[in-house]
Structure 1
């Protein structure tokens, strides 16, 4: 046992029996002490959060809040096996997302008429669909962006694998067919169960990734009881002819928010925030350049979680994200120069494609620790890296339109063959990947038609292709163990390889958070 990767069998230490954590992982004194102090820090964040009366009331008012008791375990799962810089990158990136979530919840409960009842704050809030990035709010200096679906449903299922099953069941009882994607089903179920705060002056939704989301958005709009704008971004977003329309839709959304809140859009404030957003994009591009090398640093869940929060939620409005991004770049660059690795062996470089299982976001960590499969890039990170104009208003509208066309998930499930198939293999070539882990979300119909095309193109290029089935927020339809088994079978039967850590090949974690 010690500071070296693979110095102890993680499967026996972390998953002896179905309950996790027989003891904490020993990483050598320096890394173990660092990890333990961070773990204590997250507990202190939760304690300070709960000490505020509104948040304490919110914990007992909303069923989904109990999932956040698992935050320390959530961080443990996403740092399993990590040492040195990789461990610090995970805590810097994912840890900030946890902190940002507590700030958002604090505002929500303060405005909630059943808890804090701050009506003035509520009038300053604009509610966004959880599939929508927040960027246009960068032009409203005195308003607050809120997406209560994110902490209530999306993040809840990250924390606890069965965290939103109650709401999915509620939607099915309501009469919605059971083959609808669990995400909009869970969001609708929370609304049916009266388990979402009734806050905000108005709401903005988007024509997201699929018919299920559109259905959920329409029903959610009814339950909100506030004016709602449906942002209709073009589906064929790679066509130049649609960009003027995309910009007009952004302008329509801005005018809607102005009319409902009485606030005037501040172009100077937008340009200030977009300058920061552009700088964040530049830092992200640096991480991708490092990941193209034999010593990648920002990997799997660390890259994914942080980029989701920075790109979709922060949208350039928070200086803390840019500060953290620069710190991450500094750490990653130094680790690259020192040729540091994030696991014991680098056997395969993989691109993660498709929609990941929300109940198993630590799956990339298992890939590294068990099989030496290094997750170089994630489909949900493969969004626009174009800069937004900070001087020209018309060009800024076009650039914002392009951003909203390329929101996470939407950028791949919409747009046709070029974005769904061709881009994947272009990215494989750019990132020097020899493997694709294809998440198959069985409740999603958007990419099902590409199945044969994917396999055909992979064979042409000699890329290993592993299908991993799941059902996003419903673990019973494809458990964590089932997901691992599909990788195990491929690695043993096709590649004839032995695991790096045999103790992780098969274990029962059905009762884990």
Structure 2
């Protein structure tokens, strides 16, 4: 027990029906810092609950109960961290807590069942879960809310059983049980009448699969507001599809203008994209550091946060840039002092495939238990290009490029070049000797690559570990099942012993 990494048996902290026996001891300075940030998150949630509309929403909507597990969620994602990595993690995750509270406050303010602010609701454009927000940079008088993120996506992340009720509702309604849990949960929530009915119009995208596309169509009937389906090409690497993608973006802009009476403001769009470009430059610096022997922003410290500012922030919220700058300072401080992420680096890994939403803390377990550094994950490796801030026509192509390279579809549906070839390229760039291959059992998108991954990893001398999961349904393959697949490989194939043997087998079913 102490200041050094791996100085405490983390698995021994988990205890029976309670989540943990006590808080982790990290040495005086880090323990005090971690505790003050824990208190800060509780204060953010307390201020959120102090608003009458939010209090009404807490008792009206079933999914709100999951947010009581937020402090535990942050604890799981900072487990074992010290020094710069601990501070980077809190800088990211604590801001996500604050940002999600802001989003839910907007929903409840406009919701007829809670705040019933009709004028504010007329300023809201509702986006679906996987929609990039950049198109709204041209509408400074409007506000974008991602419908499913605080209602389905985040609850399944902070509490592993957070959306099981909605999945069951969808199946009872007649949806086949082998459909991906994400669109099933979103549909079940609509059937259960658990969405705040807000906004003047909605924009959906042809997301990652037919299941999501089907869900958007059915949900649109429940919301009963004008909806636009942004159908950008999936094979986004082909030059021939770029013109069509730009046309779809232009059509979407016209739709929002017609429904809201607002006119697209190019000056405001370009100003926001300047911010977005600065965020991208900082992300590139994080990646460059991760390619060295002293990576800093890895695993949990990049996976979820990248989704937030790349997709939801989109350059419009300057707080993300301020946060990124602080993270970058911490990263360089750790790099210059050669601060290690683990007590012993056994393997450098690229995480590929779509991660389990109910176990986003899996990367931190990899490094704490086995000394596997999860350098980067597939969902974070979206676009790192800088986009035009002067040319209107080029900006349409840029927006199309962003929508074609959204999270959850950039690699899984973009074709062989981005789904397979890019994996080996990233392994080489990041000097990785291992691939952790997430295999979502309800997803058909990358199933055809299974044998190809096996053969080509063998040819390149890379260790390939398949980790099966059910995305939002842990009943199909739970957290323990995911860990067991890694444990078996590490012991039987590589003949290695864990850095922390207490993390091989422990109970973590509870949320808080």
TM-score, scaled relative to structure 1: 0.99
Partners of 1:266 and 1:131 lie apart in 2 by 24
Aligned: 1:299 with 2:298: yes
2:72–2:511: 8 Å Cα contact kept in structure 1? no
Question: What residue in structure 2 maps to residue 351 of structure 1?
Answer: 350
Displacement after TM superposition at 1:379 (Å):
0.3
Whether the 8 Å contact between 2:200 and 2:259 is mirrored in structure 1 is yes
* Runs of 4+ that moved beyond 3 A: none
Residue 39 of structure 1: aligned partner = 38
Residue 138 of structure 1 is matched in structure 2 by 137
Q: Is 2:146 aligned against 1:164?
A: no
Q: Which residue of 2 aligns with 1:208?
A: 207
Question: Which residue of the partner structure matches residue 317 of structure 1?
Answer: 316
Count of equivalent residues: 512
* Contact 1:18 1:509 survives alignment (8 Å): no
Q: Structure 1 residues 184-193 or 16-25, which shifts more?
A: 16-25
How far apart are residue 18 of structure 1 and its match? 4.8
1:50 Cα deviation from its structure 2 partner: 0.3
Measured in 1, the distance between the counterparts of 2:352 and 2:174 equals 32
Question: Which 5+ residue runs of structure 1 have no aligned equivalent?
Answer: none
Aligned to 2:385: 386
Query: Any residues of structure 2 matched to 1:93-242 within 5 Å, and which?
Result: 93-242=92-241
Partner of 1:508: 507
Partners of 1:350 and 1:437 within 8 A in 2: yes
Query: Displacement, 1:147?
Result: 1.0
What is the alpha-carbon distance in structure 1 between the residues aligned to residue 454 and residue 106 of structure 2? 47
Match of residue 16 from structure 1: 15
What does 1:408-487 align with in structure 2 at a 5 Å threshold? 408-487=407-486
**CA contact 2:107–2:198 (8 Å) conserved in 1:** yes
- The corresponding residue for 1:2 is 2
Q: 1:236 and 1:306 mapped to 2: Cα distance?
A: 26
Gap runs ≥5 in structure 2: none
Name the CA distance, whole Å, in 1 between partners of 2:217 and 2:206.
10
Alpha-carbon distance in structure 1 between the residues aligned to 2:508 and 2:96 = 25
Q: Distance in 2 between matches of 1:353 and 1:247?
A: 29
Once residues 510 and 109 of structure 1 are traced to their aligned partners in structure 2, the CA distance between those partners, rounded to angstroms, is 30
RMSD (CA atoms): 0.8
Rounded Cα–Cα distance in structure 2 between residues aligned with 1:60 and 1:398: 44
TM-score, scaled relative to structure 2: 0.99
Q: Deviation digits for residues 337-366 of structure 1, max 9, x if unmatched?
A: 100012211110111111111111100010
Alpha-carbon separation, structure 1, partners of 2:412 and 2:208? 6
Distance 2:488 2:18 in 1: 25
1:510 Cα shift? 2.5
CA shift, 1:148, in A, is 2.1
**Aligned equivalents of 1:234, 1:98: Cα separation in 2:** 33
1:311-351 deviations in whole A, cap 9, x for unaligned? 01000001110011011111101110100012211110111
- SS at 1:178's partner residue? coil
- Cα deviation, 1:87-111, whole Å, max 9, x if unaligned, reads 0000001111110000111111000
Q: Counterpart of 1:238 in 2: which secondary structure? A: coil
**Contact residue 68 and residue 159 of structure 1 kept, 8 A:** yes
Once the 2 structures are TM-superposed, how far is the Cα of residue 221 of structure 1 from its aligned partner?
1.2
Paired residue for 1:497?
496
Q: Distance in 2 between matches of 1:511 and 1:313?
A: 29
Contact 1:19 1:509 in 2 (8 A): no
SS in 2 for 1:64: helix
CA distance in 1, matches of 2:288, 2:179: 38
| 8 Å contact from structure 1 (residues 274, 388) kept in 2 | yes
Partner of 1:247: 246
1:445-495 per-residue CA deviation (whole Å, 9 max, x = no partner) reads: 110000000011100110100000010111111010010000000000000
Distance 1:393 1:510 in 2: 51
